Amino acid sequence: MMLLLDIGNTNLRWALSDGGSPGEVRIVRHGAAVPLDLLADWERLEAPGRIVASNVGGPAVAAAISRATRAYWGLDVEFVQTRAHFGALRIAYPEPERFGVDRWLALVAAHRLVPETALVVDAGTAATFDLLLADGRHLGGLILPGVEMMRASLLAGTLIPRIASEPTDEPWAADTGPAVAAGSLQAIAALTTRLYDRLERQTQTSPALILTGGDAERLIPAMDRPARVMPDLVLRGLSEVVSGDAPAIG
């Protein structure tokens, strides 16, 4: 049994895998350290055979997690690194190490799970957009602030009051709080539509639109293209890398 870890900018997702799809996904906020509720869960966990991780949360949380796994099970964490090629998948970046490992793993999983051209949107602390052709060629992507970061930066730079609110069913709003809430979702949804349509015209096919990340479900009402939510996409990519090509692990 393997322990798979997806250490994001804000949250840590983990699941167990026997070499196939990840099991139940657990989510905790890490705060650049090891959360106490994670340790409580791990105290009850039977020792895994391997621990494999994706980390974009920084060296502090990686070191803290590594200390915990050595203390509990005497195991070091194997951190996956982005690489230019993985099977048919080819990354567009000329310097693959500059391409986030979470984005890379999401593409590894997407290419395995869907046969068609795909637009992969990861809506987390940052919102990333990656375009992937059916033959495995990655065209590139874009990055925006995520939903909460977009809202926080607007409120920090203006005198708009901090009003806790969620958008209504309409794409616009009749009050300031809902306008800010709707704007952040609509901005990401609008860019998704623009990229989807460009990809559709370029390839003369109907691409798959895959949403992942903590805010994927929140985006669904704002989307005007058919989308599927795969919240464990990075963990699925980890499982693929571990079972398919050990040299991707550093």
228 among the known binding-site residues? no
Nearest to 239 by CA among 18, 73, 75, 78: 18
Residue 74: which region, alpha, beta or left (left: phi > 0; alpha: psi -120 to 50)?
left
DSSP state of 48: P
H/E stretch holding 121: strand 118-123
**Which tokens belong to 124?**
């987390």
37 among the known binding-site residues? no
Per the residue annotation, which of 76, 102, 169, 215 is the catalytic one?
102
203 among the known binding-site residues? no
H/E stretch holding 203: helix 176-203
6 among the known binding-site residues? yes
Nearest to 199 by CA among 115, 131, 138: 131
13 among the known binding-site residues? yes
10 among the known binding-site residues? yes
**Rounded to whole angstroms, how far apart are CA atoms 110 and 197?**
19
**Rounded to whole angstroms, how far apart are CA atoms 93 and 111?**
17
Instruction: Please indicate whether residue 102 is annotated as part of the active site.
Output: yes
DSSP state of 57: S
| Amino acid sitting at position 28 | V
**Rounded to whole angstroms, how far apart are CA atoms 14 and 35?**
13
19 among the known binding-site residues? no
93 among the known binding-site residues? yes
Binding residues for ATP: 6-13, 125
Binding residues for substrate: 93, 100-103, 176
The catalytic residues are: 102
Binding residues: 6-13, 93, 100-103, 122, 125, 176
Binding residues for K(+): 122
